[in-house]
Every structure is written in structure tokens, then in C-alpha cells.
Structure 1
Amino acid sequence: MSRFSLITRAATREDAPALAQLWNDAVRRADPAEQVADLELIIKAAAASPEQRLVVVEYDGQLAGAVYLRITTLSPLNLDPCVQAIHPRVFDACRRHGVGHALMEAATAFAEENGVLHVVTAVPHSSRESNRFMARLGLAPVVMYRIAPTTLLRSRVSPQRQQGGVDGRTRVLAARRSLRRARAERLVLPD
């Protein structure tokens, strides 16, 4: 049984169509041609910045996986530097061949090259296999990012306003007051 070699390298513009397939659920929802164009811009920006790197791993001559690396801080409040390994992803057909390890090795090497002490990653919470893989490598869960459309969040954090600025609760209270007045008037009126 022959083993194929893994080649780790920086992404090139020619990798954009394969990356659009690999990250189809992570890139913006758009026409496939627009997604490829977006990834071409991302590849170009990463190549031009010493604080970014888009790494791909080839297996048997084909693109097998990729990760976007970026030097930033642990959070806006914790200014310790870290390398973010964003969306490390492997094509299903290439799993269990060391591609994921090669991607995380690239993240570790990038951190070491830049004197950064921490590597953080983000994998989908629903991907049990990815989360278990990261745990085996020693990455512990720290936070869970949550996302919602702004309009949905607006509807939940403040009551929806109806026409005239009256919300549902105000209308209920006004209806109760009207009923009380009507009852009180019936009791006071002589026959």
C-alpha cells in the first residue's frame, strides 16, 4: 500500500474555486462566481500581509484542506497575541490521511515564527468529529460564539412597535381600562 505525500503551501489564486467548494457554508451566500471572486481577494490580502496566511494542504496532488491563519489578540479586552486558525477544513474524501494534522501544524509553525504563545480555532459547534479532533490536539473550549440576524435580535431585545407607537402590552392594558370604565358606568347609571 503506497502512502501519498502531503504538501503544505500558501494558497494561490488558482485554488479559489476549490476553496469555494470547501468553505461553501462559511463564505457569504452568493453566486458561486462571486464566492470565487471573494476568495481570490482573500488570498491576495493574505499573501500581502505578514499577519495573515491562507494555507492549503495537497494530498495526492489535489487540494485536500485549508485553513486561514491570522495574528490578532485573544479578545478586544485581552491583548495577548494569538494565531486564529479560522475554519480548518478537510474535504470528506481526504479525511483520515493527516490533512487536519498538517493544517494545525501550519498554524503552530506560523505562531512559532511570529513568537505567538497561543493558537485558537473556530470549528462548527455541530461538528462533533471536528471538536473531538481539536480536543485531542489539546485545544480546550473557552467561549461559544453565537450569531443572529440583526432584525431577529432587534425583535427580541425590544418590543415591536405597532403603528402609533403602541405595543401589545399597552393595548391590553388600554382594553382592560375600557372594560373597567364600561362596568363602572353600568353600575352608576340609574334605571
Structure 2
Amino acid sequence: MTRSLVTLRCAMPSDASRLAELWAEVLRRGDHEEQAADLLSIIERAAGATDERVVVAEYDGEVAGAVHLCVTTMTPLNLEPAVLAVSPHVFPDFRRHGVGRALMDSAVSFAEDLGIGHVATAAASGSRDANRFMARLSLGPQAVLRVATTHAVRSKLTAQRPSAQRAGGRQLTQVLAARRSMRKNQASPVGDAQG
């Protein structure tokens, strides 16, 4: 029987800086200190909650990966409860050592402890390895989450409006009615002068 070198524990405030390195790609933009401060807040909030956890995986005593677990619903419209495993990440040096499997096992155990029948997660669309790993664990695609800046979406929505709407927001029928009215008003004084 082989002894696993992977151990799991709840995150501690002292982990914030190292987790900021692990999750740098998925955290809000900012310098390392701001990201670590965000994570410290998340770790402290999770420590006092029954429906949230930040789980750290250690490999032979070193932080190797982590996952944020929270109880939510399948969607805002489907109120079936689910445990969402947010950003199960493993440092590159510790991949293929069972760390990711241990993190996802912690999500399943958390769901089982709470009597929740579903586990959900997300993998970056461009991460072939992560998506294959999740598929091997029987996690299939449920939806595609698409994200863009508010400004970018507003620009595209504006560009795709019909041209009459882009020009002052008036409908074509309103524009045509205004033109007819202007022509009628222009024609009236001339007719009155002759008669």
C-alpha cells in the first residue's frame, strides 16, 4: 500500500499570498498585495461559514494547490442545490501527483456531508488538460459562461442596432412622419399665398 503525499486542510490567513500566486489568472486585476488582501478576506469569510470552504492541498508539506468550495444552486432559475468547486488549481510542479483528484474529492466530500446531490466546476475553455480531467471525473458541460467587459458589450449592442435607432434613437416610422410633416408645412405657405 502506497502512502499518499497529498494532504488537505482548510486555508489559513497565512496562505493568502501563496494562493494569490496560484490563482493570479482568475483574480481581479491588481498588484500581488491587493490580490493577497482579497484572498485574506475570502479565507476569513469562509472560516466562519458553513456553506463555504477554501481547501488547500499540500504535497509533502508544500502548498501544491487549492479550491474554493461554496454551496449554491444549479442556476439562479434552477434551485437544485449544488457544491461549486471554484478554480481547482494545482501548481505546475505538482501536477500529475494526485493533487487535482484530492481537491475534487474534497468537493464531493463537502457535498456528501451536506446532503447535496450535485457538484459543479468550471475549467478554462482553453485548458485542454483541465477539461479532459473534469470529463474523466464525469463532469460534463452544462453551459458555456461567456464574459466580456461592459464597455465591449455596449459597443457591440450599439453597432448592431438598426441605423435609424443609432441616429438619435428614433424609429424609422417616427423619422418618416417627421419628414412628411415638414414637407406639409413647407407646402402650406406657398399654397396660401396663391389663393
Same fold, TM exceeding 0.5?
yes
* CA drift at 1:98: 0.3
* CA drift at 1:159: 3.7
Amino acid at match of 1:123: A
- 1:87-109 deviations in whole A, cap 9, x for unaligned? 00000000010000100000000
Unaligned runs of at least 5 residues, structure 1:
171-191
Q: Aligned equivalents of 2:150 and 2:160: distance in 1?
A: 14
Q: Aligned equivalents of 2:3 and 2:70: distance in 1?
A: 31
Match of 2:21 in 1: 21
Match of 1:71 in 2: 71
Match of 1:150 in 2: 150
Q: Is the 8 A contact 2:158 2:166 kept in 1?
A: no
Q: Aligned equivalents of 1:53 and 1:6: distance in 2?
A: 18
Q: Aligned equivalents of 2:50 and 2:3: distance in 1?
A: 34
Match of 2:86 in 1: 86
* Percent of matched pairs sharing the same residue: 50
Aligned-CA RMSD value: 2.2
* CA drift at 1:166: 6.5
User: Residue 108 and residue 127 in structure 1: after superposition, are their counterparts in 2 closer, same or farther (change >3 A)?
Assistant: same
Q: Aligned equivalents of 2:22 and 2:92: distance in 1?
A: 9
- 1:93-129 deviations in whole A, cap 9, x for unaligned? 0001000010000000000000000000011010000
Is residue 121 of structure 1 aligned with residue 121 of structure 2? Answer: yes
Which secondary structure state, in structure 1, belongs to the residue aligned with residue 25 of structure 2? Answer: coil
Is residue 139 of structure 1 aligned with residue 139 of structure 2? Answer: yes
Is residue 8 of structure 1 aligned with residue 8 of structure 2? Answer: yes
Q: Is the 8 A contact 2:43 2:54 kept in 1?
A: yes
Amino acid at match of 2:28: R
* CA drift at 1:158: 2.1
TM-score by length of structure 1 reads: 0.82
Please give the residue correspondences for 1:23-42 in structure 2 after superposition, counting only pairs within 5 Å.
23-42=23-42
Q: Aligned equivalents of 2:167 and 2:64: distance in 1?
A: 54
* CA drift at 1:51: 0.5
Q: Which runs of 4+ in 1 moved over 6 A?
A: none
User: Residue 15 and residue 159 in structure 1: after superposition, are their counterparts in 2 closer, same or farther (change >3 A)?
Assistant: same
Please give the residue correspondences for 1:29-68 in structure 2 after superposition, counting only pairs within 5 Å.
29-68=29-68
* CA drift at 1:160: 9.1
* CA drift at 1:167: 3.7
Unaligned runs of at least 5 residues, structure 2:
171-195
- 1:126-172 deviations in whole A, cap 9, x for unaligned? 000000000001100111100000011001112499xxx9649x9xx
- 1:54-97 deviations in whole A, cap 9, x for unaligned? 00100011100000000010001100000000000000000010
Q: Aligned equivalents of 1:100 and 1:112: distance in 2?
A: 18
